[in-house]
């Protein structure tokens, strides 16, 4: 699902919202989430999951062309951890799809 798909879904679900209002709402929410993560805060949406910042320590890497060592600096990267309800819903849907295809959900694919 893309950002524009999310705007379309929101506008379709809530008829009182114009397309422009839905677009503004999605932008406002995503901007607020980005700002919070940039400041180092954690975001938790119950039933969906949590967003946090992980620290990647500095390390030595290798240039694949020349083979020489390259120092890679420390990074802070966003991390998403799905909530229990989301994990269970995805797992349940996966099992349903496998059952429809005639596969046993216990059997690895």
- Cα–Cα distance between 83 and 78 in angstroms, integer? 16
pLDDT for position 102:
76
Taking the model in full, what pTM does it have? 0.74
Residue 100: pLDDT band (50, 70, 90) is: confident
DSSP state letter for 46: T
Tokens of residue 90, six digits: 């995805």
- Cα–Cα distance between 55 and 64 in angstroms, integer? 24
The string of pLDDT tens digits covering residues 17-27 is: 999 999 999 99
The string of pLDDT tens digits covering residues 42-96 is: 999 999 999 999 999 999 999 999 999 999 999 999 999 999 999 999 999 999 9
């Amino acid at each position: 699902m893309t950002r524009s798909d999310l705007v379309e879904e929101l506008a379709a679900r809530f008829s009182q919202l114009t397309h422009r209002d839905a677009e503004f709402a999605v932008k406002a929410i995503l901007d607020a989430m980005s700002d919070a993560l940039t400041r180092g805060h954690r975001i938790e949406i119950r039933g969906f999951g949590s967003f946090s910042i992980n620290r990647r320590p500095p390390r030595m890497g290798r240039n694949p062309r020349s083979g020489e060592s390259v120092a890679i600096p420390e990074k802070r990267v966003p991390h998403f951890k799905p909530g229990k309800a989301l994990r269970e819903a995805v797992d349940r849907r996966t099992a349903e799809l496998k059952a429809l295809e005639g596969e046993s959900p216990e059997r690895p694919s």
